[in-house]
Amino acid sequence: MRRWATLLLAVAPVVFGAERATERLQDTADVFRDIMATPDKGIPRDLIEKSRCIVIVPGLKKGAFVVGVELGKGFISCREANGNWSAPGAVRVEGGSVGFQIGGSDTDVVMLVMNNRGAEKLLRSQFTLGAEGEIAAGPVGRDASAETDAEMRAEILSWSRTHGVFAGLALKGATLRTDEDANAELYGRKMDNKQIVDSRMAPPPAAGRLIEMLSRYPQHV
């Protein structure tokens, strides 16, 4: 079992990490566009407008064989002081569970960070989701947030889309970390995501579509 786990972890960066950061930014924009194109089945608009940060991971992959390994690369953007969305920082999502799993699946994941405390955690160089109250499955649909507002006490809300099916997902046990190599590809030097968000630096050209779509959801407190 240990040998299979070691082999899977060794080949995972090759299998999952070949795509360039600029291409992943396009995929990220596509995922957000597609999800929000159906308001009755997407993320409630008011939650995005109230959020502090958003994380979008296109094609989170769940490995198979003896050890299940979830791997994905995506981006985080946070509100600046003026309410505008920041330049995106690159993230890696990693998580493992022991079990006999055959096959795999690709799942798009979106997370909304709803307060400053959650944003501070997510902007660390490494952060593991899972403490009670930190993350919860987000409501789906145009009016869902109003109906369940009394229950929305989590710092982070998360959703998933697999084979076209969109639903809330309590993504616990996964580790998010800054992808400094991807940031170096986009910005010319290695930086952590807190540096990118706090610096109010201009987004790279490849992020234009993503920032334009996020800008359709201005801050609402």
Instruction: Pick 54 or 130 by higher pLDDT.
Output: 54
Distance CA 176, CA 169 (A): 16
For the stretch 28-57, pLDDT in tens is: 999 999 999 987 888 999 999 999 999 999
What does the alpha-carbon distance between residue 62 and residue 106 come to, in Å, rounded to a whole number? 7
Model pLDDT, residue 14 = 43
Confidence of residue 17 (pLDDT cuts 50, 70, 90): very low
Angstrom CA distances, 128 to 37, 118, 134, 140, 177, stand at 30, 12, 10, 24, 9
CA distance 218 to 205: 21
pTM for this prediction: 0.84
**pLDDT at 105 (0 to 100):** 64
